[in-house]
Structure formats: structure tokens, C-alpha cells
Structure 1
């Protein structure tokens, strides 16, 4: 294992379990291992339907809002 991958794994250990699982699925997928379909809860399906409706209405985040969000996350 490379030093960079070891560092990444060490960093991920401190994240919540559900985030660790999602990152593990992504890594396995990149490595060529097929991953099972993730089933959404009814709440997640409703959230997705609302997001689709917002997109259909043309409701998107402004560039200014996105810059604000990204700036807060990097501080």
C-alpha cells in the first residue's frame, strides 16, 4: 500500500460509519468490484422527488450561494 493510500485510510477512520461505508463502496467500484444497488428509504425518495421538481422549475443555487457554501467548508 502506498503512503498516500495509508494516509487516506487513516483519515477516513475518524469519519462517521455511514461515510466510511460510502467511501469504501466508491473505492471498491474504482477498483472494478461491482457494488450492489443502494435502496433508498421513503424519505430519501421523497427528497429526491422534491429535488427533481425544483430542477424542473429551474430552481438552482446561484453562483454566489455556491461560492459561499464552498468557502465555509474550506475554512
Structure 2
């Protein structure tokens, strides 16, 4: 294992279990030969479409909003 991957795993250990599971799923998907497609729920698909529309309109989070989220998850 590389030092960078060891650092990432060590950092992930300090995150809440649900975030650890999300990271694990991403790693397994990335490292797998299985080219699975992620299926979105109708609500997730709607949220994604709205997010894409917001990006197209140039609507992005303010610095204060970004900092609020980062501090919530201690990043």
C-alpha cells in the first residue's frame, strides 16, 4: 500500500461510519473490473438535474456555505 493510500485510510478512520462506507464503496467501484452503473432513485435523479441546471446558471455555493459544510464534517 502506498503512503498516500495509508494516509487516506487513516483519515477515513476518523469519519462517521456512514461516510466510511461511502468511501469504501467508491474505492471498491474504482478498483473493480466490474463496470457497474450507479442507479439513482427518482429523488436523486431530480436533485442531480436541478444541480446541473444551477451550475449552468452559474449558481454556486458561497465561501461561507462551503466553510459551514466543511466544519460540519471537520474537513
Counterpart of 1:15 (choices 3, 14, 17) is 17
Q: CA deviation at 1:61?
A: 0.3
The 5 Å alignment of 1:1-75 reads: 11=13, 15-16=17-18, 20=21, 22-74=22-74
- When normalised by structure 1's length, the TM-score is 0.59
Q: CA deviation at 1:25?
A: 2.9
CA separation of 1:30/1:57 partners in 2, compared to 1, >3 Å: closer, same or farther? closer
Larger of the two Rg values belongs to structure: 1
The count of corresponding residues between Structure 1 and Structure 2 is 68
Structure 2: which 5+ runs fail to align?
1-5
Structure 1: which 5+ runs fail to align?
none
Distance 1:38 1:54 in 2: 22
Q: CA deviation at 1:27?
A: 2.5
Structure 1 vs Structure 2 CA RMSD: 3.4
- When normalised by structure 2's length, the TM-score is 0.59
Q: CA deviation at 1:36?
A: 1.1
